[in-house]
Amino acid sequence: MNINVTKPFLPPLAEYHTYLQGVWEREWLTNNGPLVNELEVALKERLDLDHLLFVSNGTIAIQLALKALNITGEVITTPFSYVATSSAVCWEGCVPVMADISPLDFNIDPEKIEAKITPHTSAILATHVYGNPCDVDAIEAIAAKHGLRVIYDAAHAFGTRYKNRSLFSYGDVATSSFHATKLFHTIEGGAVIARDPAVLKRMAEMRNFGHISPTAFQEVGINGKNSEVHAAMGLCNLKYLDDILRVRKSLSERYDRNLAGLPIQRPVSRQGTDFNHAYYAVAVEDEALLLKIIDGLQLHNIFPRRYFFPSLSTLPYVSTESCPVAEDLSRRVMCLPLYHTLSEEEVDMICRLIKRYIRY
């Protein structure tokens, strides 16, 4: 059996089936159905948020955020994220301008942001990489000083709390992904969270083609809705969230103990973080060693992933100054397998192999 970087969490089939029975009885599959509503309410309660909308995926979530905040021109963003962070900016007709990351937490470095601000800048789009909080206070201060909007790509941040608040509650808008590979998932799906209820209302209209009534359209919209069967998966999975968080923490701590003393680098969490352990990332000395380890693990059917490679500053459709920290890190970092059904013995085996390849 393969050990992949991740495996989707699957609830007991009977529990999912119970929700499907209700869907069949109601014959209501999509368009803001009762399960979508129930999931939104449950998520708001669980995460202690005032507003949240369930949308079709985490990429559309970023696009809705950019649109609803009237973002145009240049968006200062991070080169160390999944490609959707940059591509969504381009897709919305804006220009991504990369500010390099901090070598400590791998998140956008606030000190690099200010130098990139021009009269065309309208927003900062930062990713809480691996679920670790960005320096939200410094970013907030820069945004306030220069009149910029802040959007967080919080696709990894489900369950992380920072200063006793959900990480989703920071920024003008936070977006998330509930894709099958993420810690909490709805198969495909995502969410937008907004500080200002008016922005949330706008995104609610935009996700439904811009309808404000069956026959009236306020402005241009898109199909950003999600369905009853996706919401049902979320409602099933949400019941297991405490369990999911607990297992990931325990497996991550096992990795920590096994890998202690090796010449590897791990992202540092800032003080006040209650981390969700969404990913277990390690950076090694250089790309040659990384590839040696990846090849060696593959021989044992173990498949870590190069999250994130390449640095988004090197994308062919992004023209930006180079970001040396991100470009260096992305060449030598990977995420190790971490999922609910991964066993402690498997973690030990992965670590034994890594040690062998690092030493020889």
Residue from 127, 132, 186, 227 touching ligand PLP (CB under 6 A): that is 127
Q: Could you write out the three-class secondary structure of 70-137?
A: CCCCEEEECCCCCHHHHHHHHHCCCEEEECCECCCCCCECHHHHHHHCCCCEEEEEEECHHHCCCCHH
CB of 110 to ligand PLP, least distance (A): 19
Cβ atoms 263, 68 nearer than 8 A: no
Q: Closest distance between ligand PLP and the C-beta of residue 92, in Å?
A: 14
List 82, 152, 170, 275, residue binding ligand PLP (CB under 6 A): 82
- Under the binding rule (CB under 6 A), the answer on residue 80 touching ligand PLP is no
A 10 A CB-CB count for 211 gives 15
Q: Which two tokens stand for residue 226?
A: 């999600």
b vs e for 95-121, b when ≥16 Cβ sit within 10 Å of the residue's Cβ? bbbbbbbbbebbbbbbebbeebbeeeb
Q: By the 8 A CB rule, do 69 and 123 touch?
A: yes
CA–CA distance, 56 with 285 (Å, rounded to integer): 39
Q: How many CA atoms lie within 13 A of 303 on its CB side?
A: 8
Contact region with ligand PLP (CB under 6 A), list: 78-86, 90-98, 265-273, 351-359: 78-86
- Interface residue with ligand PLP, options 57, 166, 273, 276 (CB under 6 A): 57
Task: Confirm or reject binding of residue 40 to ligand PLP (CB under 6 A).
Answer: no
Task: Give the range of 28-36, 41-49, 79-87, 279-287 binding ligand PLP by CB under 6 A.
Answer: 79-87
**One character per residue 167-196, x = contact with ligand PLP (rule: CB under 6 A):** ----------x-x----------x------
Which of the ranges 65-73, 148-156, 310-318, 343-351 carries the binding residues for ligand PLP, by CB under 6 A?
Answer: 148-156
| Residue among 117 and 323 whose Cβ is closer to ligand PLP | 323
Q: Is 100 in the site for ligand PLP (CB under 6 A)?
A: no
**Locate tokens 């507003």: which residue?**
51
Which of 100, 105, 135, 153 is close enough to bind ligand PLP by CB under 6 A?
153
Between residue 281 and residue 340, which ones bind ligand PLP under the rule CB under 6 A?
none
Compute CA distances 82 → 34, 44, 72, 89, 177, whole Å: 32, 26, 21, 13, 11
Contact region with ligand PLP (CB under 6 A), list: 19-27, 32-40, 110-118, 153-161? 153-161
The stretch near ligand PLP (CB under 6 A) out of 41-49, 53-61, 105-113, 137-145 is 53-61
Q: How far is CA 56 from the centre of its chain?
A: 15
Between residues 122 and 176, which has the closer beta carbon with respect to ligand PLP?
176
What is the C-alpha to C-alpha distance for residues 134 and 152, in angstroms, rounded to an integer?
9
Of residues 191, 175, 182, the one with CA closest to residue 231: 191
List CB contacts of 264: < 8 A, sequence separation 6 or more.
282, 283, 284, 358
Between residues 81 and 258, which has the closer beta carbon with respect to ligand PLP? Answer: 81
Contact assessment for residue 162 and residue 133, using Cβ atoms and an 8 Å cutoff: yes
Q: Considering only CA atoms, which of 38, 332, 298 is closest in space to residue 186?
A: 38
CB of 190 to ligand PLP, least distance (A): 5
Which of 77, 78, 85, 186 forms a contact with ligand PLP (CB under 6 A)? 85
Task: Point out which residues bind ligand PLP (CB under 6 A).
Answer: 57-59, 81-82, 84-85, 127, 153, 155-156, 177, 179, 190
